[in-house]
A and B are shown apart, each in its own frame.
Chain A
Amino acid sequence: MKSEAWPSMRTRNSSGRPAAGPWPGRLLLGLFLLVTAVLILFPLVAAFLGSFMTNAEIAAGGKLVPSVWQFANYKEAWVQANFSRFAWNSLFVSAATTVGTLIVASMAAYVVERMKFPGKALFVGLQASTMFVAIGAVVLRPQFQLMVDLNLNTSLWGVILILISSHAYIFFILLSFLQGISRELDEAARIDGCSSAGIYWRIVLPLLRPALGVGALFTFCGAWNEYLRPLVFTLNNPNLQTLTVGLSYLRYGSSAAVQTHYLLAGACLSILPLLAAYLVANKSFMQMTAGSLKG
């Protein structure tokens, strides 16, 4: 392969950008990027456009754009297939989980970072260990049993409490962010007579706002997309199902084959809110993944 040494003759342009490769290579690379992008987008575009077709048109297939846009699909999914209920449940679970997680994790992060107390290392170790144990679905059963004993299985609060209980990741994000904030403001406030709780509420929380934002996004998306816990808790209670669970039930249902357009409309109802937020603020969404590596 010595004969291919010629690319080394290339020079760099003055802007510091790497010089463009020879044109066949560039074309190939561009094609590769394009094909990958199309493969990623195709299922989403097909689902979105299919959600506006009649069932017969989807079954006949081979068409990307609906011949007549059936906006009624969404109305029917919303009303008849109970997706209004599912959407409300999803929103409720996600919002409550987000608020709860941020409160619980920020309170813990505050005392761990700013206070001295015995057992601190143990607590941090406990939080870290919960992120690494992977016995899968086994834990769902005792969690479920516990909620039955507490009479919390007939509402969504059981699911919400369980989702809040896995707040270790957010706790560590907030903790590392708090470590970067100097204590001067805390100390000044303490001299002015502010209580520890007051410092948390008036000083630490406002300073934490950027990290709370990322944490909120992360928690909300996670809860909105959560499948197993809501599934386990609503096996006997369809009125509590979230979008993810309601959708999978429709898929299992015997009539699923006839209701493809409902399924697609329902899937879009679940996907589109997050996707819309993502299109506006995709940098913030990416922060949550990249942060997990640095943290």
Chain B
Amino acid sequence: MIKLRRIGFSYAFLAPSLLLTVVLGIYPIGWAIRYMFFDYKGYGEAKFVGLDNFERLYRDGPFWHSVANTFVYAGGKLILTIPLSLVLAVVLNRAFRGRSALRAIYFMPTIISSSVMAVVFYILFNSYNGILNQYLLKLGLISVPIPWLGPKHAMLTTILIAAWGAVGNYMLLFLAGLQNIPRDVYESSSLDGANRWQQFRYLTLPMLGPVLQIVVMLAIINALKGYESIMVLTDGGPIGKTEVMYLYVYKLFFPTPSASYVPDQQFGYGSAVGFATAVIVGVVTLGYHLLSRRLNRLQ
């Protein structure tokens, strides 16, 4: 009797969490898995079409184009962010005056909305009367405005902006890992005559190894999934140059103001594309996991 009452109480307390998770977290995934096999535009009747959506996916040039863009974007973001945040963390792990102020500055972008910053960066990078170009012109560094958001530079600009928002976050994660390395290994190594670079290469990196791997994994997933800022900044444009795969999925469900690059809303096909993107992220994550395990064994 007491046991039954305890179970009843437990489930009563669990109910809000369980209900919300099932209805708003699990059900939508089931919804997507069902409609992957349907032709459904959001109105009218849903028609079962089997694997047609996946066949269409296979032939969908713009989608694979957006996948390629995603890898360029994610790769660029990682190449900029990971080394820079690691170096900042190693430097800030030492005690010196102004350290906490610098740390607070570097971390600042993390607390700011990426969509709001995208609006600010739009004003900064605007080709015609953008604030940045005006400065560069006044300082005499350039003679004609750089079309930061034009077809040629737009991807680079979005990568720079993504790195701006991410460096502080990963720096802090690395710092948390560095603080677990005991101080005395550095003391004894420097008594043995190791210089800064040797300490970094043969002490810090190996001892940070596990943390490094987790953080890089997090960074890969985040970089592949991010599209909010791109959506506000360029909406995938110009001419699809910054279209990333998650943005492509979004547009199949909610056509955006400049969605000319993507066809109208298509819930069935969109579910299939969404599923494919999740598989792509999963495969990359798994591949990275296996690679880092093999590297571990080689060491």
B129 and A59 contacting across the interface, CB-CB below 8 Å: yes
Say yes or no for A40: interface residue by CB 8 A criterion: yes
Number of interface residues of B (CB under 8 A): 97
Say yes or no for A72: interface residue by CB 8 A criterion: no
Known: A29-B91, A44-B108, A264-B123. A62 touches B32 (CB 8 A): no
Residues of A within 8 A of B103 (CB): 286
Known: A136-B274, A270-B116. A166 touches B16 (CB 8 A): no
Residues of A within 8 A of B167 (CB): 36, 40
> Measured between alpha carbons, how far is A201 from B186 in the docked complex, in Å?
48
B113 and A17 contacting across the interface, CB-CB below 8 Å: no
Residues of A within 8 A of B214 (CB): 293
Residues of A within 8 A of B232 (CB): 227, 248, 251
Interface residues of A in 53-91 (CB under 8 A from B): 58-62
Residues of B within 8 A of A136 (CB): 225, 227, 246, 249-250, 274, 277-278
Residue-by-residue, is B1-43 near A (CB-CB < 8 Å gives 1, otherwise 0)? 0000011011101101110111111111101100000000010
Say yes or no for B283: interface residue by CB 8 A criterion: no
Residues of A within 8 A of B7 (CB): 117-118
A227 and B115 contacting across the interface, CB-CB below 8 Å: yes
A247 and B119 contacting across the interface, CB-CB below 8 Å: yes
B32 and A137 contacting across the interface, CB-CB below 8 Å: no
Task: Write the nearest CB–CB distance from B11 to chain A, whole angstroms.
Answer: 7
> Measured between alpha carbons, how far is A129 from B35 in the docked complex, in Å?
21
> Measured between alpha carbons, how far is A16 from B187 in the docked complex, in Å?
8
The B interface is mostly helix, strand or loop, or mixed, namely helix
Number of interface residues of A (CB under 8 A): 100
> Measured between alpha carbons, how far is A292 from B177 in the docked complex, in Å?
12
A60 and B105 contacting across the interface, CB-CB below 8 Å: no
> Measured between alpha carbons, how far is A228 from B228 in the docked complex, in Å?
7
Residues of A within 8 A of B137 (CB): 61-62
> Measured between alpha carbons, how far is A278 from B29 in the docked complex, in Å?
36
Most A-side CB within 10 Å, residue of B16, B131, B250: B131
Known: A41-B105, A61-B129. A140 touches B254 (CB 8 A): yes
Task: Write the nearest CB–CB distance from A108 to chain B, whole angstroms.
Answer: 4
Task: Write the nearest CB–CB distance from A266 to chain B, whole angstroms.
Answer: 8
> Measured between alpha carbons, how far is A127 from B17 in the docked complex, in Å?
9
Say yes or no for B109: interface residue by CB 8 A criterion: yes
A244 and B246 contacting across the interface, CB-CB below 8 Å: no
Q: Which of A8, A135, A165 contacts B274 (CB 8 A)?
A: A135
A165 and B21 contacting across the interface, CB-CB below 8 Å: yes
A200 and B13 contacting across the interface, CB-CB below 8 Å: yes
> Measured between alpha carbons, how far is A222 from B176 in the docked complex, in Å?
22
Residue-by-residue, is B168-207 near A (CB-CB < 8 Å gives 1, otherwise 0)? 1100110111000001001100100111100000000000
Task: Write the nearest CB–CB distance from B36 to chain A, whole angstroms.
Answer: 9
Task: Write the nearest CB–CB distance from B94 to chain A, whole angstroms.
Answer: 6
B14 and A123 contacting across the interface, CB-CB below 8 Å: yes
B20 and A161 contacting across the interface, CB-CB below 8 Å: yes
Residues of A within 8 A of B81 (CB): none
Known: A61-B135, A136-B246, A290-B172. A267 touches B17 (CB 8 A): no
Residues of A within 8 A of B26 (CB): 126, 130
Q: What are 7 A-to-B residue pairs whose CB atoms are below 8 Å?
A: A37-B102, A44-B112, A138-B32, A141-B31, A225-B111, A243-B116, A248-B232
